[in-house]
A and B are shown apart, each in its own frame.
Chain A
Amino acid sequence: MARYGMVIDTRKCVGCTDCVVACKTENQVPEGLNRDWITDDATGSFPTLHLEIRTERCNHCDNPPCVACCPTGASHVDPFGAIVLVTPEMCIGCKACLASCPYDARFVHPDGYADKCTFCIHRVKDGLDPACVSVCPTHCMTFGDLDDPNSEVNRQFASRPHHALMPAAGTEPRIFYLT
């Protein structure tokens, strides 16, 4: 079975938020809430600066604390592509998963359940990229099977230095940022 992940080229990303907007319309994310977001990371002092712009979301970790801490089993790893999902009907809105996620990737949906990025599993099952990837005007995002040595996502992964977010948290995130 596939193990889906993303490789994102921070050199190409301009932080335009098209990924955020596309997620909102694709998935009808309520106003005021977002499943993905942009982080601007500026270091140095003027004029010698470095800016890394990242599109961030649930990392669909290999070792997801949100699944481990869920008291009802609502948070789970779907057998399809090892995507981390929430079953709204099983969620009691206890927010343990919100607290456990080092990436702040979850929020409580107005209907009372924990919500977050699904890697657009409904699209992926149809052979499409997640909405955020498919709309990106800079083509900075690549989605695919990290276990397939011939996938484009693995080719990108091997092409340049990269980093993941908060590796020390031990969650083994599956989104990588090319630097």
Chain B
Amino acid sequence: MPAIVLVFTSARIRPEPRVPLGTVIMITVSRRRFLQISGTTAGLAAAGSVAGGLARGGAVAEAPETGVRTVPTYCDICFWKCGAIAYVRDGQLWKIEGNPADPLSRGRLCPRGTGGVGAHVDPDRLKAPLVRRQKRGQEEWAEVTWDEALNVVAEKLQKIKAEYGPEAVALFSHGIGGTFLKHTLRAFGTPNMAAPSFAQCRGPRDVGFALTFGEEVGSPERTDIRNARCLVLIGSHLGENMHNTQAQEFAEAIGAGASIIVVDPRFSVAASKAKHYLPIKPGADLALLLAWMNVLVTEGLYDKEYVDAHGFGFDTFKAEIASSTPEWAYPETGIEPSVIRETAREMARHRPATLVHPGRHATWYGDDTQRSRAIALLNALLGSWGRKGGFWKPVQMTVPGYPYPPYPKPDKGKVDNPNGKYPFASEALTTGIREATITGAPYPVKGWMVYATNLLQAMPDQRETIRAIQALDLLVVVDVIPSEIAGWADVVLPETTYLERYDDLNVEWFREPFVALRQPVVHAPHAQKPNWWIARQLALRLGLGAYYPWTTIEEYLDYRLTKAGLSFDTLKKQGIIHGEKQPVFFDEGAEASFPTASRKIDFYSTTLREAGFDPVPKFTRPEPPPEGSFRLLFGRAPMHSFSRTQSNPILHDGMSENAVWVNVHVATRLGLTDGAYVRLRNQDGVLSARIRLKATERIRPDCVYMVHGFGHTSKRLTRALGKGASDAQLVTRYATDPLMGGTGMNVNFVTLEAEA
């Protein structure tokens, strides 16, 4: 293989206009694309190379580094935190592979992890601290020094504290990188910290399971997919939703011949692997779950021994679901009674190794906690909780925290859920903080710090988010990329990527105990700084130096590891240290404990009854789309994480824009052509950006679907700007879960308009 030497100037790695896509929709990488490209050599020659970009990223040493070295670390392209090994060749970041010693990646990353190289070389990434010079949202900035930027932030935070108290500052944070900013803000005195990962994602699922088993599903999910003999996926599109360990185990289960049942209005990739595909009417999942449970109970197919030993209130539960027959469920779900019976029997045949997957993004219709509780109860009937092929009990290594002085006790309670309006909200509500910011009640919120979460794409109703931003005295965004929320910030602080920094240890709750290290592989290419440095510098300027007895994160990490009896040097070399194996299934000796009100599995929940909610889940029919409208559904693509990766030059190549999936017969009826641009208009008159139409057999005629995270409007995301449409923009309506405040987002209806 002849050596290919690519030398690029910085000008050549600037993104160029993309190659025209022609008539082929780029859902995944198309072989057609490069043939078109080969005919447009002018654009191509200037398009630059991913490899070329690396030259700028890694170079710092005085004497040029030669040869190949490897650095173990853990990934941050999503929150799964897979163990990785990064390769540096001649001083440039070359490639990233999975760390075989890591139980999450098992030596293999997902495409996003493999494409993590692109985060380092992304020419659109934030390079220097920015201070706003024009009206909010106009994206006009001045580059300033770190000193200037941090002084502005500290000064404004102190001003807010003096006028309104420390509670008037809120932090929105996603991922382990937020650890130190949370620490600084707790020391500052605010209790208000939230992440969209609760009320816009897994919250209802975790609350529904906790109300049933007393414990949450957690992240990574405690699902034993690889040993499941029957796997039931309800709207969960594993394979497109690329949580690495789960996707790997999914393939393993397929290889082992597991029986797969998929419930989805769309013929997903997972559906294509299924023995039974149930093309359910959107929003009717709870009716199907009740009917499945009805069959298991009336036909005596459930795990009676398990239910007798661990269940509470089974008889009342049985009476409550007696009328939820497959015949009752048929008009609600569109699934034939015979199919409901057959699939229920299939689940029973393989129990307890039947896993009804709890899903992850569960905020759909506003009844999501009860639907999740029904999934928990179905698993309970199958006896899969705590059993091989069902759910394991997570274990963790003991690694002591760093001993800090106690945080000041805030004078005011949390702002997001006044008077416990949502009694089962186990984490703070982003939407609650937003509402308080707009209304000033129960008390004013005047400052937002936002870490690594693009609130404008993650939260429903962008108009409300912008209204809240306009009521702020200070909006600070700490991020790697210039996201839409960064576009509204007063101060933007550019963070290093995970490949250029240390982070806190990942002491994961998993099926086997381990601790993992994130450590720098290459130097930051510009003025970016790691989150721990930013958090510490801010604390020093806020007079909170006592909370940072350490000066470098190495001191912090070394302290924690030494206290745990582990070696920092060993961890630097291996990336992972394993703990002793512990039992994770009941029959291996894991304790069958259920920290609910009854100390058992709550088939009937007195906790819910006392709070005024249905003690056994009940189905409510969602509002159907008006004539001529379609329900808007959204999901994931395997090569992108949220709205955070579309500008990554490698992952952008994998999928540069999203498409709207429309049933082919509907498209024909509407006179819309496959591959043509359309716009979507929602029930509130909001019109989307243009998006290509995917006319396909693979979706029901009453809904449309798109991959989340596209339709960027941030001017600085030059590679992603104006490509595809944003589902978040169209989610102006949401159904709030009365139990825990989750925002059900599958309640928006759209019409389609051909793009002239």
For residue B117, CB closer than 8 A to chain A, the reply is yes
Bitwise, B399-442 to A at CB < 8 A (1) or not (0) is 00000000000000000000000000000000000000000000
CA A173 – CA B95 in complex, angstroms?
Answer: 30
Nearest-CB distance from A169 to chain B (Å)?
15
Residues of B with C-beta under 8 A to A103: 31
Q: Is the CB of B273 within 8 A of A11?
A: yes
| Apart from A11-B254, A24-B650: 4 A-B pairs, beta carbons within 8 A | A16-B639, A25-B95, A33-B37, A36-B29
Residue of A with least CB distance to B89 = A28
In the complex, the answer to whether B114 meets A12 with C-beta atoms within 8 Å is no
State the CA gap A109–B44 with chains docked (Å): 9
- Most B Cβ at <10 Å: residue of A16, A26, A46: A16
User: What is B's interface to A at a CB cutoff of 8 Å?
Assistant: 1-2, 4, 6, 18-19, 27-35, 37-38, 41, 44-45, 47-51, 94-98, 108-111, 114-115, 117, 238-240, 242, 244, 247-248, 250-252, 254-255, 267, 269-273, 277, 279, 638-639, 649-651, 653-655, 663, 696-700
Q: Chain B residues with Cβ under 8 A from A45's Cβ? A: 697
- Whether B255 contacts A12 by the Cβ 8 Å rule is yes
Asked if A31 contacts B28 (CB within 8 A), the reply is: no
* B638 contacts A14, C-beta separation under 8 Å: yes
| B279:A34 contact, CB within 8 angstroms | no
Pair A37/B97 contact, Cβ less than 8 Å: no
B1 and A122 contact, CB distance less than 8 A: yes
Judge whether A32 and B638 touch: CB under 8 Å: no
B643 to chain A, nearest CB (A): 19
Residues of chain A contacted by B270 (CB below 8 angstroms): 14
Chain A residues whose CB sits within 8 angstroms of the CB of B251 once the complex forms: 12-14, 137-140
Determine the distance from Cα of A63 to Cα of B697 in the docked complex, in whole angstroms.
37
Contacting pair B267 A32 (CB below 8 A):
no
Interface size on A, residues (CB 8 A): 62
CA distance A25 to B41 in the complex (A): 22
Query: B28 and A18: CB pair below 8 A?
Result: no
User: Which of A50-58, A64-72, A147-155 forms part of the interface with chain B?
Assistant: A50-58
Partner of B242, one of A16, A46, A131: A16
A39 on the interface (CB 8 Å rule)?
A: yes
Q: Is the CB of A30 within 8 A of B47?
A: yes
Contact at B114–A46, with CB atoms within 8 Å? no
A46 touches B279 (CB 8 A): yes
Query: Contacts of B44 on A, CB cut-off 8 Å?
Result: 30, 32-33, 110
Instruction: Give Cα A64–Cα B307 distance, bound, in whole angstroms.
Output: 63
**Bound form: Cα–Cα A135–B95 in Å:** 11
Q: Are A108 and B38 in contact (CB under 8 A)?
A: yes
Complex A-B: 20 CB contacts under 8 Å? A15-B28, A17-B111, A21-B115, A21-B639, A21-B654, A22-B95, A28-B4, A28-B6, A28-B51, A30-B6, A30-B51, A46-B663, A47-B267, A49-B277, A89-B2, A104-B32, A118-B1, A134-B97, A137-B108, A138-B251
Cβ of B2: which chain A residues have Cβ within 8 Å of it?
87-89
A42 at the interface (CB under 8 A from B): yes
Q: Contact check, B267 vs A30: say whether CB atoms are below 8 A apart.
A: no
Among all A-B residue pairs, the 9 with the closest Cβ atoms? A14-B239, A138-B251, A28-B51, A51-B272, A16-B638, A47-B279, A25-B95, A107-B34, A18-B111
Closest partner residue, chain B, to A86 (CB atom)? B2
Q: Are the C-beta atoms of A98 and B255 separated by less than 8 Å?
A: no
Task: Name the contact of B95 in the complex, choosing from A26, A38, A47, A95 (C-beta under 8 A).
Answer: A26
Min CB–CB distance A28 → chain B (angstroms): 4
A82 in contact (CB, < 8 A): no
Given A25-B115, A137-B110: A14 in contact with B700 (beta carbons within 8 A):
no
B267 touches A51 (CB 8 A): yes
Contact among B48, B98, B271, B653 with A24 in the assembled complex (CB-CB below 8 Å): B653
Q: Are A137 and B244 in contact (CB under 8 A)?
A: yes
Q: B271: which A residues are within 8 A, CB to CB?
A: 49, 51
Q: How far is it, in angstroms, between the C-alpha of A26 and the C-alpha of B651 when the chains are bound?
A: 15
- Interface residue A175 (Cβ < 8 Å from any Cβ of B): no
Q: Which residues of B contact A11 (CB under 8 A)?
A: 254-255, 273
Rounded to whole Å, the gap between the CB of A61 and the closest CB of chain B is: 16
Chain B residues within 8 Å of A47, by CB = 267, 277, 279
**How many angstroms from the CA of A139 to the CA of B107 in the assembled complex?**
11
Known contacts A25-B114, A30-B49, A137 near B663 by CB under 8 Å: no
Q: How many A-B Cβ pairs are below 8 Å?
A: 200
Closest to A107 in B: B34
Q: A140 to B252, alpha carbons, bound, how many Å?
A: 10
Whether B650 and A25, one on each chain, are in contact in the complex, defined by CB atoms closer than 8 angstroms, is: yes
Contact of A38 among B28, B109, B649 (CB under 8 A): B28
Which of A21, A51, A89 has the most CB atoms of chain B within a 10 A radius of its CB?
A21
Interfacial chain B residues near A40, Cβ < 8 Å: 27-28
Chain B contacts for A95, CB-based, 8 A: 38
- Say yes or no for A79: interface residue by CB 8 A criterion: no
In the complex with contacts A30-B47, A139-B251, A88-B4 CB distance below 8 A? yes
The distance in angstroms between the C-alpha atoms of A131 and B649, with both chains bound, is 19
Binding site for B on A (CB under 8 A): 9, 11-18, 20-22, 24-26, 28-34, 36-40, 42, 44-47, 49-51, 53, 56, 85, 87-89, 95, 98, 103-105, 107-111, 118, 121-122, 131, 134-140
Assess the A46–B29 pair: CB atoms within 8 A: no
Smallest beta-carbon distance A178→chain B, Å: 11
Q: Give Cα A18 to B98, complex, Å.
A: 12
Asked if residues A32 and B34 are in contact (CB atoms below 8 Å), the reply is yes
- From B41, B49, B654, give the contact of A20 (CB < 8 A): B654
Contact residues in B for A18 (Cβ distance below 8 Å): 108-111, 114, 638
Cross-chain contact B29 with A17 (CB below 8 angstroms)? yes
Q: Which residues of B contact A13 (CB under 8 A)?
A: 251
B95 contacts which chain A residues (CB < 8 A)?
22, 25-26, 131
* Distance A38 CA – B115 CA, assembled complex (angstroms): 16
The reply to whether B267 and A135 contact each other, CB–CB distance below 8 Å, is: no
Residues on A with beta carbons closer than 8 Å to the beta carbon of B109: 18, 135, 137
Residue of B nearest to A22 (CB): B114
Chain A residues near B97 (CB, 8 Å)? 134-135
Residues of B within 8 A of A108 (CB): 38, 41
A137 to B109, CA, bound (A): 7
Q: How far is the CA of A95 from the CA of B272 in the complex (A)?
A: 38
Distance from B500 Cβ to chain A, minimum over Cβ atoms (Å) = 17
CB distance from A118 to the nearest CB of B (A): 6
| Least CB distance, A134 to chain B, in whole angstroms | 8
Which of B48, B255, B697 has the largest count of A CB atoms less than 10 A from its CB? B697
Closest approach, in angstroms, between the C-beta of A26 and any C-beta of chain B?
6
Which residue on chain A has the smallest CB distance to residue B257?
A: A11
Interfacial chain B residues near A107, Cβ < 8 Å: 34-35, 37-38
The docked-state distance in angstroms from the alpha carbon of A44 to that of B279 is: 15
For A48, the closest partner residue in chain B by CB is: B277
Tell me, rounded to whole Å, the shortest Cβ–Cβ distance linking B246 to chain A: 10
- With a cutoff of 8 Å between Cβ atoms, the chain A residues found around residue B32 in the complex are 104
A105 CB contacts on chain B under 8 angstroms: 31
Bound form: Cα–Cα A128–B383 in Å: 43
**For residue B28, which residue of chain A has the nearest CB?**
A38
Identity of the chain B residue whose Cβ is nearest the Cβ of A30 in the assembled complex? B49
A17 touches B638 (CB 8 A): yes
Looking at the assembled complex, report how far the CB atom of A47 sits from the nearest CB atom of chain B, in whole angstroms.
Answer: 4
**Chain B residues closer than 8 Å to A118, beta-carbon distance:** 1
Shortest CB distance B2–A (Å): 5
**Whole-angstrom CA separation of A107 from B256 in the bound complex:** 38
B37 and A32 within 8 A (CB): yes
Please report the C-alpha to C-alpha distance between residue A34 and residue B38 in the assembled complex, in whole angstroms: 11
Q: Which of A12, A32, A134 contacts B254 (CB 8 A)?
A: A12
A53 and B272 contacting across the interface, CB-CB below 8 Å: yes
Chain A residues contacting B653 (CB-CB under 8 Å) are 24, 31-32, 34
Q: Of B19, B47, B272, B699, which is in contact with the most chain A CB atoms at under 10 Å from its CB?
A: B272
Q: Given known contacts A24-B650, A137-B110, A137-B244, is B50 in contact with A15 (CB within 8 Å)?
A: no
With A and B bound together, what is the CA distance between A37 and B110 in angstroms? Answer: 15
A124 to B244, CA, bound (A): 26
Q: CB-CB < 8 A to A121: which residues of B?
A: 1
Please tell me if the beta carbons of B267 and A46 are within 8 angstroms of each other in the complex: yes
Beta-carbon contact of B250 and A21 below 8 Å = no
Q: A15 vs B47: C-alpha distance in the bound complex, in angstroms?
A: 26
